[in-house]
């Protein structure tokens, strides 16, 4: 069970969007590398990074900022946004990423995801972003008719390290994680699921530690951390205590 702090990159800055809208971006730090160091110093064990410009462009746009983050932290980093080819994947893993997140390409070319899992075992995650229960692609700009569970089941047995499930209707507006849909997805597949979108308060952290949610790999937090709605020490202490209970 992991709490992943998020760094979303737009034009080289650390931002948060509302409902995935690039026009509704709040800048939280103009130095993403410094933000990565701060998260490590607070005790976080992983870092979740998204190249927002890249998600729309279909190729890496904030590469310099990601490289700076990788130099700034010893924590493992997972990156999504605009990674659409095996060459992209190989390049980023060689540059120091622990895990690459594939979103649009998981819908457009699932065979590429399966090949990437074979070639880079344990280092490929699938990002499933949903609006109204249907999968969205191209930086959330396009809706599909594909259901979340239908897409997830395509990768059963392929070696996907995790599914990052984001409810776009809740992202960045602090209304709480969609626990019902997240846990339904987790029940439907054997692939570990990470909750994303809407994490709002310590109540969500406590919900993470309840027995039925402990099957999740964890959850991602962005705006709630930046706005001080979540105390990092309290949150991480709660998660550590829950881990001890799981081990027992």
Report residue 125: phi and psi, to 5°.
Answer: -110, 155
Tokens 């924590």 correspond to: 75
Concerning whether 129 is annotated as a catalytic residue, the answer is yes
pLDDT in tens, 224-238: 999 999 999 999 999
Confidence label for 1 from pLDDT (cuts 50, 70 and 90): confident
pLDDT in tens, 167-177: 876 655 567 88
Report d(CA 5, CA 224) in Å as an integer.
10
Report d(CA 204, CA 26) in Å as an integer.
22
- Whether the pLDDT of residue 90 is over 80: the answer is yes
Report residue 116: phi and psi, to 5°.
Answer: -65, -40
Neighbouring residues of 30: CB distance < 8 A, sequence distance ≥ 6: 12, 13, 14
Q: Check if the beta carbon of residue 186 is closer than 8 Å to that of residue 215.
A: yes
pLDDT in tens, 22-77: 777 889 999 999 999 999 999 999 999 999 999 888 889 999 999 999 999 999 99
pTM across the whole model:
0.92
Exactly one of 64, 87, 129, 169 is catalytic; name it.
Answer: 129
> From the CB of residue 23, how many other CB atoms can be counted at a distance below 10 Å?
6
Concerning whether 64 is annotated as a catalytic residue, the answer is no
Q: Check if the beta carbon of residue 13 is closer than 8 Å to that of residue 30.
A: yes
What is the share, in percent, of the chain residues with pLDDT greater than 90?
72
């Amino acid at each position: 069970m992991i709490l992943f702090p998020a760094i979303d990159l737009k034009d080289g800055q650390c931002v948060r969007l509302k409902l995935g809208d690039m026009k509704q971006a709040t800048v939280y730090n103009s130095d993403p590398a410094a933000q990565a160091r701060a998260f490590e110093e607070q005790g976080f064990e992983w870092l979740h990074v998204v190249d927002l410009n890249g998600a729309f462009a279909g190729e890496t746009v904030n590469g310099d900022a990601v490289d700076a983050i990788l130099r700034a932290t010893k924590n493992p980093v997972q990156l999504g946004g605009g990674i659409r080819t095996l060459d992209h994947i190989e390049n980023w893993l060689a540059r120091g990423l622990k895990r690459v997140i594939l979103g649009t390409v998981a819908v457009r070319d699932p065979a590429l995801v399966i090949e990437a899992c074979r070639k880079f075992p344990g280092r490929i995650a699938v990002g499933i972003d949903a609006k109204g229960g249907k999968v969205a692609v191209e930086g959330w700009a396009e809706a599909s008719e594909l259901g979340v569970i239908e897409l997830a089941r395509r990768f059963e047995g392929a070696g996907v390290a995790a599914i990052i499930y984001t409810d776009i209707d809740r992202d960045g507006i602090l209304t709480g994680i969609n626990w019902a849909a997240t846990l339904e997805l987790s029940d439907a597949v054997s692939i570990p699921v990470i909750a994303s979108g809407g994490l709002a308060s310590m109540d969500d952290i406590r919900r993470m530690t309840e027995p039925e949610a402990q099957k999740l790999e964890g959850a991602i937090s962005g705006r709630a951390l930046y706005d001080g709605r979540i105390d990092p020490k309290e949150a991480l202490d709660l998660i550590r205590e829950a881990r001890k209970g799981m081990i027992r």
